[in-house]
Amino acid sequence: MEKKIAVLNGDGIGPEVTAQSIKVLNAVAQQYGHIFHYKEALVGADAIDKTGTALPSETIDICLDSDAVLFGAVGHPKYDSDPSAKVRPEQALFGLRQALGLFANIRPVITYSGLQHLSPFKASHLEGVDIVIFRELTGGIYFGEKHTSDDGNKASDECVYTRPEIERIAHLAFKLAQGRKKKVTLLDKSNVLETSRLWRKVVQDIAAQYPDVTAEYMYVDNAAVQVILNPKQFDVILTENMFGDIISDEASVLNGSMGMLPSASVGNGTALFEPIHGTFPKAAGKDIANPIGSILSAALMLEYFGLKEEAQAIRDAIDWTLQHNFVTKDIDPMNFYFTSTIGDLVSEYVLGKIPGAVK
Ligand code: IPM
Ligand code: MN
């Protein structure tokens, strides 16, 4: 198979974790006889420094011309402390999500037995947790009209949803649930918000088309508790943009580290794959960041290309590193390995260079 992959490293630890994914993708290409063409493009604070804008039009063109996008992270502390900054690295993400029509952000949350001894939760609490979060990504409060009054003392962010925006992601969630434990839980705040009431109504309509799937409805504040208290009750979670942003960060605690979680953003054309973590500025350039969120995102990319066996080989490799305590500093601060070492080990496993590795 031959594929074009746009590589958007971005800021902070983005470049170093993405480099490990490329290493692993190259191992997959070599082992399974595929050809991946990479094209790097500027994004985030890096792009602002070099071009004055967070998302140069050339970057959008490169993404549109690719089969998939591998994304690192964007953001820089100098913008966080300046609320009046007009140009911000995060604008690149919103621009890309819109330009590529990435309306569904899919975040799988599983737990690893190799990490359970380091978790604040009991092993029995974590065993068998397997959740997929569908976060709507191009609507809601993130994309509504924003306003700040001239005197700067009043601000508003509008939250808008339409029926088709809800229907298209709901279909994806119900279809995935059909091949899993057949349950979709919609998280909303329909006791308060009109947009949530629309979500509930539309999802009820869609649920009727999937009689084999159980639909459940839960207020998001309760869900914030349930995800920690009884995570095994969830199969597929479906929710709007901002609730999904928050609940997926929270759910990552189950897994051990935010650095472990991958995501796939899909829509009308080119899909984008990125770890859910941010730029982790304190770790940037030190070779200590956890590359697994990015490497698992690359595995999701391969699955999206239809390369199931290859994606599984990466997952097996990651299981193996965790079982043998080859972990980064976020997971075990006393006994850790470097970012690049994890990338090397996963690649070697995929290449069958580690005794006991498949093939
Ligand atoms: C994410 C991130 C972004 C978001 C930020 C960086 C704007 O937190 O992808 O989850 O809120 O969507
Ligand atoms: Mn987030």
Q: What is the pLDDT of residues 126-181, one digit of tens each?
A: 999 999 999 999 999 999 999 999 999 999 999 999 999 999 999 999 999 999 99
CATH topology of domain 120-255: Isopropylmalate Dehydrogenase (3.40.718)
Number of the ligand 1 atom closest to the C-alpha atom of 93: 7
Could you give the count of Cα atoms lying within 13 Å of 81 in the half-sphere of its Cβ? Answer: 3
Residue 11 a catalytic site member: no
Please report which confidence band the pLDDT of residue 358 belongs to, taking 50, 70 and 90 as the band edges.
low
DSSP label at residue 285 = T
Pick 310 or 253 by higher pLDDT: 310
Q: How far is CA 202 from CA 164, 208, 209, 217, 345, in A?
A: 9, 10, 11, 12, 46
At residue 357, does pLDDT exceed 80? no
217 is catalytic: no
- Position 268 scores a pLDDT of 86
Which amino acid is it at 269? G
pLDDT at 81 over 90: no
Give helix 194-207 / helix 163-178 axis angle, nearest 10°: 50
Q: Residue 297 has what pLDDT?
A: 98
Residue 333 reports pLDDT greater than 80? yes
pLDDT the model gives residue 191: 98
- Tell whether the model's pLDDT for residue 80 goes beyond 90: no
User: Residue 301 in contact with residue 271, Cβ under 8 Å?
Assistant: yes
Domains 1-108+259-359 and 120-255 belong to one CATH topology: yes
Extents of the domains making up the chain: 1-108+259-359, 120-255
pLDDT at 70: 98
**Confidence at residue 94, expressed as pLDDT on a 0 to 100 scale:** 94
Q: Which ligand has an atom closest to residue 137 CA?
A: 1
CA distance 248 to 271: 19
Q: Which atom of ligand 1 is nearest to the CA of 105?
A: 9
Q: What is the mean pLDDT of the chain?
A: 95
Q: What is the pLDDT of residue 116?
A: 78
- Residue 107 annotated as binding? yes
Question: What are the tens digits of pLDDT across the range 199-242?
Answer: 999 999 999 999 999 999 999 999 999 999 999 999 999 999 99
Do residues 161 and 139 make contact, with C-beta atoms less than 8 angstroms apart? yes
Any known ligand binding at 221?
yes
Residue with tokens 């972990």: 327
**Domain 1-108+259-359 -> CATH class:** alpha beta
Task: Find the residues whose C-beta lies inside 6 A of ligand 1.
Answer: 75, 90, 93, 245, 276, 278
Q: Is residue 2 over pLDDT 70?
A: yes
Ligand nearest to the CA of 74: 1
* pLDDT tens column, 287-328: 999 999 999 999 999 999 999 999 999 999 999 999 999 999
* The pLDDT of residue 14 is above 60: yes
CA distances from 123 to 127, 224, 254 (A): 6, 20, 10
332 given a catalytic annotation: no
Coil, strand, or helix at residue 269?
A: coil
pLDDT band at 256 (very low <50, low <70, confident <90, very high): confident
Tell me the pLDDT band of 84, cut-offs 50, 70 and 90: confident
249 included as an active-site residue: yes
Question: For residue 266, what pLDDT band results from cuts at 50, 70 and 90?
Answer: very high
